[in-house]
Structure 1
Amino acid sequence: MNANVILPAPVRALPTDDPEQILAFAADAMLQGVKVALATLVAVRGGAARSLGSQIAVASDGRFCGYVSGGCVEAAVASEALLAMSAGKDQIVKFGAGSRFFDIVLPCGGGITIAIHVLKDVSVILQTLELLNKRLSAALRYSPCGQILDLVPSGGRPRWIGGDFVTVYHPRPRILVCGETVEAMAVASIGKAAGYDVVRTGQGRKEMSASIDEFTAVVLLRHDLEAEQATLNEALRSSAFYIGALGSTRTHEKRVQRLQANGWSSTDIDRIKAPIGVFGPTRDASSLALSVMADVAASRLAASYEDRR
């Protein structure tokens, strides 16, 4: 690299850790003719604020988005990415414990390794975004030796395979909210604020069924067991990672009896979290909504942990 080259100062363009938004930022910049580097967390030593596969996209004009830590090294990572783009060569850089940057210390006391790849082709990013838009998982395999990024079949967790690192992407989590109650409106509001794809029921049965996949939580917030039945049946037939229903213990006993009479097995019925939420009983919509979203988030994390094992 020419020592006389003056690089721009890193500036956070978007405060997000959402993988889809990070890839979209990279794609948009490249389509505008701006060089982009993708920095990926590929190793952790000790404690760390982020999981393997976390990323930062850095544009050659200094803009960046994403996180690989709690916010303490992101600007330094962006600076290293700018150097990599200027030199036209990928880099593997360590921060925290075991790093050459003695003045950059991670609060957790651990260390992280970041693989910085200078993107050569936007097509692989666009293909990944297309899969996520179709609510399909995707994976990118990075070869440090070849400095190549390829789209590969998804599955498993972010990991090293031989000398290559695979980053796995899943669609944005969805929450399907059943009900026209004030509780349903509160859950939908908090779900949107938490970054979930929120779907309200009320459409036709076929459309509702298409909205439920393995990345979906189904939340039944009706005060009438008859009114919730159609959605509950669809949820139990689906691969939804969470099914929760409003009502007291006594109400749920009646729900169980109805389901048993309709031929649902104990295994199916046990998927239903009722009474819904992590704390209760609640007496107002906002408290219930917080309880429900905490329960959904905990179930999502548990499912992700099982995927990483």
Structure 2
Amino acid sequence: MTARIAPDLEPIAHVPRAAFLSDDAIDILRFAAKSLEDGYVAALVTLVQIHGGAARAIGAQMAVRQDGLYCGFVSGGCTEAAVATEAVIALQNGTDRNLRFGEGSPFLDIVLPCGGGITLAIHVIRDAAALLRTLAALQKRTPVRLRYHPRERTLVFEPGEGATGWQGDCFVRAYRPRQRLLVAGTPMEAGAVARVAAASGYEIMAAEWGRMLPQDQLDGDTAVALLFHDIDRELALLERALASSVFYIGALGSRRTHAKRCTVLRQRGYGEADLARIRAPIGIFDKARDANSLALSVVADVAKSRTASE
């Protein structure tokens, strides 16, 4: 799918506005690809440099189409409409460009609350193929990268993992599949955790006692929360999680219960490195006496673990 860059686009007729609010990379890429599919010219805006403090991390993105409709964030919400306006101008000219806000910026009326500055790369999307390949790979839960060549004004799909940032004169944006949480346990606790996690943007998998999941579903972007009140009921799933690359394993129970859990696992041949992967008692609260508090505690612990591993 190739979008025609029209040099005679009409001036901005509407105030730029958000199509929807999301900072999820998959949502942003999907919006950009859908815009081209619907016949709109679109741009991908990427935060490529930070000077001082910033509200978003390197690689944060927005997608902007020719009528000013956009999604995504490259700051805390204070610059996005202005960024969209500048992106539409780039679309009208059919030319990629860099944009700076905050410290050192020519836009003196736009001051970032953090006091720093950001540099943005606006790429006029000429072909949606790289976006579509990226979305297809992420749907299959495969990490990928997009390599932006400013001089060549191209966006190139690359399979595999990597870091986000400059590599020579190219900017590489790494993408990982959407985070997923496997929840298993008693209905009340598991249901509460699943609801809070879903509201926080996690994909949810539910597993019942005695049901085994395929090993390939437990990947490095998946967390496992075991919320049983009986070690025997959790054991099969716990062993399946320990044999996988999941980034988080948490199990319900007191410290005394966890000591018993570790004894059982040692008897089954597991070493100290395996046992160290298990967060128990699960959650960031020392004691969560009700299902809703437990749910907040568990999801916060998963998010904390994910942030620490990035």
Superposed pair shares fold, TM > 0.5:
yes
1:87 to 65, 87, 93: 93
Structure 2: gaps (5+ residues): 1-6
* Equivalent position of 1:270 in the other structure: 276
Distance 1:6 1:140 in 2: 29
Matched, 1:279 2:305: no
Displacement of 1:270 after TM fit? 1.1
* Equivalent position of 2:64 in the other structure: 58
Matched, 1:101 2:107: yes
Matched, 1:70 2:76: yes
2:233 to 220, 223, 227: 227
* Equivalent position of 2:24 in the other structure: 18
Correspondence 1:180-199 to 2 at 5 A: 180-199=186-205
Q: CA separation of 1:24/1:303 partners in 2, compared to 1, >3 Å: closer, same or farther?
A: same
Distance 1:296 1:227 in 2: 22
Correspondence 1:239-250 to 2 at 5 A: 239-250=245-256
Contact 2:142 2:160 in 1 (8 A): no
The 4+ residue runs of structure 1 with deviation greater than 6 A are: 1-4
1:207 aligned counterpart, secondary structure = coil
For each residue in 1:100-153, what CA deviation from the matched residue of structure 2 results, as whole angstroms up to 9, or x when unmatched? 000000000000000000000011100000010000111101111111110123
Q: TM-score, normalised by structure 1?
A: 0.95
Distance 1:108 1:24 in 2: 30
Percent identical among aligned pairs is 50
Contact 2:99 2:120 in 1 (8 A): yes
C-alpha RMSD of matched pairs (Å)? 1.5
For each residue in 1:254-295, what CA deviation from the matched residue of structure 2 results, as whole angstroms up to 9, or x when unmatched? 111110111111111111011111112111000011111111
Matched, 1:114 2:120: yes
Structure 1: gaps (5+ residues): 305-309
Letter in 2 for 1:62: G
1:172 aligned counterpart, secondary structure = coil
Contact 1:181 1:221 in 2 (8 A): no
Distance 1:3 1:303 in 2: 45
Correspondence 1:128-207 to 2 at 5 A: 128-202=134-208, 207=213
* Equivalent position of 1:297 in the other structure: 303
Displacement of 1:157 after TM fit? 1.7
Q: CA separation of 1:27/1:204 partners in 2, compared to 1, >3 Å: closer, same or farther?
A: farther
2:46 aligned counterpart, secondary structure = strand
Q: CA separation of 1:208/1:202 partners in 2, compared to 1, >3 Å: closer, same or farther?
A: farther
2:44 aligned counterpart, secondary structure = strand
Q: Size of the alignment, in residue pairs?
A: 304
Distance 1:88 1:130 in 2: 27
Contact 2:16 2:81 in 1 (8 A): yes
Distance 1:6 1:247 in 2: 59
Distance 1:167 1:113 in 2: 15
